[in-house]
Amino acid sequence: MNETTPYRGRGHPKDPERELQVREALMQSAFSLLRNKAFRDISIREIAQGAGVNSAMISYHFGGKEGLIIEVMRHQFMQHGPAFLNVGLDDKEPSLEMLKEAMARMIRLYISEPWIPRLIVGEVASKPGRMRDLFADRLASQLGPKLCELLGVLQSAGQLRPDLDIKLMPISFISLIAFPFIAGDPLKEGFAFALGKDNGEEWIAHTVQLLLNGVVNISIDEHPETGGDD
């Protein structure tokens, strides 16, 4: 895993290449553990052991366990999340395809890495603290403004309805993506629905259509003429 925004404690690295190798090893070790264990069950020591380095390197490079985990999550979003996180809107003409692609990639990411939505629900959304602060600073601060910008440009270009509240649209967008992962067990028990790799693409197609077209059949006349005797 390559990361471009390092955190360093006191001092300066004697060997930049070695420092990068240590960072990548720590991120890979944490990533492997997150796929198999809950955040709270992962210790700094086992992350360091998996990377083959001293545990002090986690604080040196990332400011602590929370900083490391957020960087691992951020890396996944940058690599597999919406393309607009890496490409400015000025570099590519905004289109509805970008919006559909963003939704599809987010859902695929959450399906392939279920630890991400679990971590967001359990450690970020449920309580204040360092994880929430780091998530807001290093990830939400990038995703939120760029999503709002894309939606605003599409609305100004006439590709989205002009009557929609541009401030609320990002919330609806994120809600459509996140809800099945937040309410996994209740959905399984109440609706016999569990989102996974076997039905992911079907769900993506459904959700994208719901976002763009809603649920009302617009071909139905809302005010049909009533017949009667003259």
pLDDT of 11: 52
Please state, as a whole number, how many other Cβ atoms lie within 10 Å of the Cβ of residue 150.
Answer: 20
pLDDT in tens, the chain (230 residues): 554 445 555 555 568 899 999 999 999 999 999 999 999 999 999 999 999 999 999 999 999 999 999 999 999 999 999 888 776 556 567 789 999 999 999 999 999 999 999 999 999 998 899 999 999 999 999 899 999 999 999 999 999 999 999 999 999 999 999 999 999 899 999 999 999 999 999 999 999 999 998 888 876 655 555 555 55
pLDDT of 3: 46
Condensed to tens digits (0 to 9), the pLDDT of residues 97-114 reads: 999 999 999 999 999 999
Length of the chain: 230
Residue in 141, 9, 48, 145 with CA at minimum distance from that of residue 89:
145
SS3 state at 125: helix
pTM across the whole model: 0.84
- CB-count exposure of residue 192 (10 Å: 0-12, 13-18, 19+): exposed
pLDDT of 216: 84
**Hey, what domains does the chain have and what are their CATH numbers?**
16-64 (1.10.10.60), 81-213 (1.10.357.10)
Do 122 and 39 form a contact (C-beta atoms < 8 A)?
Answer: yes
Q: Go through 47-71 and write b for each residue having 16 or more CB atoms within 10 A of its CB, e for each that does not.
A: bbebbebebebbebbbbebbbbbbb
pLDDT of 12: 53
The alpha-helical segments, DSSP class H, found in the chain are 16-34, 44-51, 56-62, 65-80, 96-112, 115-119, 130-135, 141-156, 169-182, 184-191, 200-213
pLDDT of 113: 97
pLDDT of 27: 98
Q: What is the rounded CA–CA span in Å between residue 116 and residue 108?
A: 12
Condensed to tens digits (0 to 9), the pLDDT of residues 32-44 reads: 999 999 999 999 9
